[in-house]
Structure 1
Amino acid sequence: MSSDEDFSLVLDNQTPSNDSLQQIKTSITNYKKRHDQLIQEQQELAASRDDQRDMTQNCKQRSHKLIQDLKADQRSYEVQIENEKARVILMKQEESDLMKEIQKVEEALKKEEAKNDHLQQQADVFTAVPERLVVFRGSTGSKEDIFEMKPRVVYPMEGGTALIRFDEKVVADNILQIKKHRVALGSDCRITVEARPVQLMLPSLVEIDSEVSPQHILISNLPKMESDMLLSKLEIHFSKKRNGGGEVDKCELLPDSEHVVITFVEKNIARGLTEKEHHEVELQKKKKHKVRVTPFLNGTITNLKTKMAVCSRTVLLTGIPDVMEQEVLQDMLEIHFQKSGNGGGEIEDFLYNPLGQQTSALFEGVSTDREE
């Protein structure tokens, strides 16, 4: 077989040269150095690995501790937040309670201020009211001391009745004890009347809540003169703005005190007049008179207790028929009850109301012998 390639023969038992041995030794030496270097690098890598492992472990431990600390801080923060929320709620409740208390105190203060203003106003009024004599009856220093006021009681009378006031209480008691009385009105005419006690409802306790009227004034210290002329002069004077007045609605005379009450249309007139108090008014021709203007009190009864009392000297006669003229019948009745033989006595007053008529008797300074 033919080929163009060349072959060379290599002999295995050919002895290497010195240069080749030296190279092998050098290579071995280099490999040893390389091996030692690799071992050193391996050791360094192992040490670095161990360091990294330790560092990782430390980092894991630190991370775990940090996580635990964070969780503990979170729990502590949450507890603190809850405590702060509870504290805020408590503070809000305390603030609400305090505001309510402040509101109560303010309301109580307003009431006290209003009460003080009212009392001050009342004090100003009472120091300015017209002077009027008051009679004190009692013994000084005793618990029984009282101011005595004479009652005025209107007693409506039915038709066919009469009221008799005797001078002595014993006579009235006799008439009431007999009860049925036959009264002779002539030789052949007699009537039977019945005697009854007179019972009056009297106040035992009266409480009045009063306030100053913004539209009224009370005028006192007035001279004696004809009432229509007096009212006309006062209305003219106090209706003029230059005198501090205004449009007058009513001008009235109080019969029980002889004082005059003026009512204004507007509500801002009375105060200015009462503050000045004394006014000079031309009540008589070219002659001025100083009158006193004081506040007028409107009163509302807030508490009223009454008692039934029996008149001690007055007797009511009932069942009187209309058989003759009023004056004649009244005289016959009065004559009958004046006679001691009929159980009567001296009569102080007699009032007869015939059948079909209506009238009222006015009791002033009522004297009673018992209460019911």
Structure 2
Amino acid sequence: MSHTQNRFSSLICRVVCHLLTHFRCQVMADIPINKVEILNLGNRRQALLDKLKRFQTELEAKRAESTKLKHKFKIYAQIPDTEVNYRTRYEEQMGDGSQPISGRYLISQRASVHLQGGQALITFEEEKVASQILKIPKCSVSCERSSVDVKPRRITMDPAVKFEVILNVSRKEVNVHNIPPSMPEDRMKDRLGLSFCRPSRGGGEVERVKYDKNTGSGQITFLHPGVADGLALRGKYRLDLDSEVIVQVGPVYSYQLHRFQTFCGSPKRTVLLEDIEDKEEEEDLQDHLEIHFQKPSNYGGEIESIRYLSGGRLCGPSSVRTHCNSYICNICPHIFLYDCLIYKIIFAI
């Protein structure tokens, strides 16, 4: 009996040892596979990171290009003061007083080029002269005690735009802003109606009142046309709420954009001169440039205009030239107000 137990115990030990050995071999065989999988996952992760970085770089480049294009097409305007001379009196016809004031504006931007320090622009009277100069890689211009080498280049103009704006301004409605939320909405509407119906303050009989407590703004519609013109021109109005309050008043208007066109090109009679060293005063060097490029022996010709900037200087931004063709269906005593509106619309576009 004891011998049988010993044999059985020995058999169990051999089986257990065999199982342990098999399990150890299986584990050792699985370790390289796990390392390979981990290595593959790491490579895939790095590839995805590289791809993400490449896409981020492309996105930044696209954003920079978009910003550059927006800057190119943005209009910089210096609006001059305009004097209006009324020669005839227009008698307003009965029945059309409630019609809005309509204006048609043609906006034309001058094509321009930013002239930097050490550059000059020369416009010749003939295209063939400019074409001859552009074929020369470098020109040596003689001065009093030395010479200056300049490089002729063709000009690429900045994009310019031209468009038409049709503006309609209400003669019966005004917008009101900066209304303090000092009372309930219904009560505030009543106060607005009472305040704007006072002729002593420039108001008139009120037909309808709109009020938005969340934005602190409203809209007043008068019964008769003409009241809104004067209030919009003043820009401010005094309200009687819990205390006296000054609010902002503006016109109610709409506009439409028509015939939008863009232009981009290169002038055929104008040449850009680059890399001009400041060896003399600006005016003297400009005279030497003009003399040099007027001589037929230098392939030049008659010059219409020339402009040179010494190093370190920069020509200002292009200006905007506006032409206003207004077809007014009603008498418009406050033309300046509507000119301001059209300039506001230009910058919004």
TM-score with structure 2 length normalisation? 0.37
Q: As a proportion of its length, which structure holds more helix? A: 1
When Rg is computed on C-alpha atoms for both structures, the one with the higher figure is 1
Higher relative contact order (CA 8 A, sep 6+): 2
TM-score (norm 1): 0.35
